[in-house]
Structure 1
């Protein structure tokens, strides 16, 4: 188009020269001469106007030319300010976003297992790279700032007492007690000879047969008592055991002594964890486990993430009230982000435009406008020619 417009200007000049040369012989050439003369002037004027926007005409530093490169900084500021005022407004953005049920669309998308699987694959694939960038100091900092301070405030004694209370409610501990009685019975039966040997060592002045008799009777009595307790749900020893557990649970929760001991024990455990350089061990084991799991075709982490995303999608998709809450939460976040960062975004746009090369800015804008710029030159040529003919007609009318 640029070549076309230039060739049209050359045609006007050629026509003008031809008319000047042959007009004395052919008087009617005054009309095409008027057309070509004014058309050439219009073409040159519009060429100058178009070129002056983007660069110096013919490389001459004529005042008020190369307007866009020379005013690059002002244009950049104006562009950023224009976008901030007319596009990055909370009312406009929130209004547009509120037209769409984003929560329903996202939940429906997540409900398809193929989509959730893609997200899970991306997360699992990124875990090894993420762990490679984490070193022992990062883990130590995380534990020192978030985990250990919270752990230090835990009341271990009270938690243990509450756990024991939960275990004993409704007789939940009785199967464990029965299992313990069975284990003790088996141990006594299997270690009778060891008990005899230890008893003989402690009783040096009694004959060995007497020692064996005493130990056998002792073991037989203990085993009989254990079987009696195991067979009787209402045995007195069971009630004593239950009372002892209840008392211990109460003391762990309310007695100052056990609670103080629990705090000291927890403090010693935290100090041992810090002094033992376990951060690196934890990191190495976590890294090895996750890398091995990520490389497995039946990745546990992948399955967990995938199932969680699918469940989340189905749950949100079936709850319109939850969608309303999530959309409201999302719109509040969007409004806050716009209010907080719109000035920074407009500043970023202005800085980017300022950072462009001045010639490159003009070339980019000229290329984006494209053909219309050359049509200005072409139209200017024909409009100028028509105006020249009309002026010539007016001059002839006045002369007559």
Structure 2
């Protein structure tokens, strides 16, 4: 803040008093041999004039050369302004604004409690809702969608790269076995085989294929005769019925959970699957399929579109009255209540705030003196004199008035003594 250097309206009583003394001295000068009363007045005015002039000279010499004459030891303030500046700074730093006193004052202020009370009042009145909503809205609007999408894609790719295909496949197979899906697959296959075999078309096909296969058997002598006789006895229909019945019987046997062949089939299935899961070419194929899947899904574009739509929805939410009343205000109230339930945390916060404030004062304490020096150095001698006269000029005028009055009284007393002697 700039110092006010405009010279205020002065009380000219001191000048008037000096004028009165001068006029009285001039008026009574012809009567210095006259009546006693006139001689007393003349002596009083003379001494009052001398006293007033002496005090005027003394007061004026503090600020400037009297009548512009460079009398030695006058204009004391301009000549010693550097000493005055340093004295003012020293007085401020060592007496008025000591670091210790500022620190003590800060410690006496419960800043955290005052802030909490202010915040609590503001929360209950809803004072902060619009401001917080505006901040949240600004944050949401400035979310870098493209960068965020890239970050999410990199995280997804990193997770995909870290997946252990072998462990996943083994875990999947163990889960299938533990849930009995392997047996369910066999049962499903048996049901399908049974359903197909029971069809007339399947029976006819089996009879025809079976007959053709027997006819292709080439044996010699009596064995060939026996085979031909067998074929003559069995038609394709009978062959179909025979094969159909055999297959259905085997299907029924395999459906029995305790059937030995079924258990062997399950054991063989487990071994073959385990061996297949350990094949490097299968793992490489699955890995390539995984990478191709990420590319084909075009996740980056879908994620970016989703984030943009989500941002639009969130913008509408954070500025709504419903969000402020049903979410923001209760959230702030809950956070404040939790803080008030922890006096030790408030005390820690109080100490931290005071410590930061004291450190801030200590760090910038030297700037107080620098600021005072800077502001004083901005003033010219005339401005500095005007500033100080504006602050103490009235009291200095009373010095001149008192000098004139005291001189007048002393002059009257001396004149009376001289008359009596």
TM-score range, shorter chain: 0.5 to 0.7
Between the aligned partners of 2:139 and 2:40, the Cα distance in structure 1 is 80
Residue 18 in structure 1 maps to residue 41 in structure 2: no
Residue 326 in structure 1 maps to residue 315 in structure 2: no
Greater shift, 90-99 or 7-16, is seen at 90-99
Query: Closer, same or farther in 2 for the Cα pair 1:308/1:365, shift >3 Å?
Result: farther
TM-score by length of 2: 0.50
Query: Closer, same or farther in 2 for the Cα pair 1:319/1:126, shift >3 Å?
Result: closer
Map 1:2-151; keep pairs closer than 5 Å.
2-113=11-122, 118=127
Map 1:176-215; keep pairs closer than 5 Å.
none
Query: Closer, same or farther in 2 for the Cα pair 1:298/1:304, shift >3 Å?
Result: same
Between the aligned partners of 2:62 and 2:117, the Cα distance in structure 1 is 51
Between the aligned partners of 2:95 and 2:417, the Cα distance in structure 1 is 49
How far residue 10 of structure 1 moved from its aligned partner, in angstroms, is 0.5
- SS of 1:7's equivalent in the other structure is helix
Residue 368 in structure 1 maps to residue 391 in structure 2: yes
Counterpart contact for 1:22–1:29, Cα < 8 Å: yes
Alignment match, 1:354: 377
Q: Deviations over 1:177-220 (max 9, x none)?
A: xxxxxxxxxxxxxxxxxxxxxxxxxxxxxxxxxxxxxxxxxxxx
How far residue 32 of structure 1 moved from its aligned partner, in angstroms, is 1.5
How far residue 67 of structure 1 moved from its aligned partner, in angstroms, is 2.5
Counterpart contact for 2:99–2:365, Cα < 8 Å: no
Q: Deviations over 1:305-364 (max 9, x none)?
A: 877766565554554333322221122122222222211221122122112222111111
Between the aligned partners of 1:67 and 1:130, the Cα distance in structure 2 is 62
Between the aligned partners of 1:300 and 1:353, the Cα distance in structure 2 is 55
Between the aligned partners of 1:75 and 1:41, the Cα distance in structure 2 is 30
Between the aligned partners of 1:95 and 1:309, the Cα distance in structure 2 is 33
Greater shift, 325-334 or 63-72, is seen at 63-72
- SS of 2:365's equivalent in the other structure is helix
Residue 344 in structure 1 maps to residue 367 in structure 2: yes
Query: Closer, same or farther in 2 for the Cα pair 1:29/1:354, shift >3 Å?
Result: same
Counterpart contact for 1:52–1:66, Cα < 8 Å: yes
Counterpart contact for 1:80–1:346, Cα < 8 Å: yes
- SS of 1:337's equivalent in the other structure is helix
Counterpart contact for 2:40–2:415, Cα < 8 Å: yes
The higher radius of gyration belongs to 2
Q: Which runs of 5+ in 2 are unaligned?
A: 1-9, 164-286, 288-293, 295-299
Between the aligned partners of 1:21 and 1:129, the Cα distance in structure 2 is 92
How far residue 6 of structure 1 moved from its aligned partner, in angstroms, is 0.6
Query: Closer, same or farther in 2 for the Cα pair 1:313/1:40, shift >3 Å?
Result: farther
Between the aligned partners of 2:72 and 2:407, the Cα distance in structure 1 is 25
Between the aligned partners of 1:350 and 1:309, the Cα distance in structure 2 is 47
Between the aligned partners of 1:71 and 1:93, the Cα distance in structure 2 is 30
How far residue 9 of structure 1 moved from its aligned partner, in angstroms, is 0.7
Between the aligned partners of 1:126 and 1:370, the Cα distance in structure 2 is 54
Map 1:162-177; keep pairs closer than 5 Å.
none
- SS of 2:56's equivalent in the other structure is helix
Query: Closer, same or farther in 2 for the Cα pair 1:43/1:325, shift >3 Å?
Result: same
How far residue 111 of structure 1 moved from its aligned partner, in angstroms, is 0.5
Coordinate RMSD, CA, aligned: 4.9
- SS of 2:73's equivalent in the other structure is coil
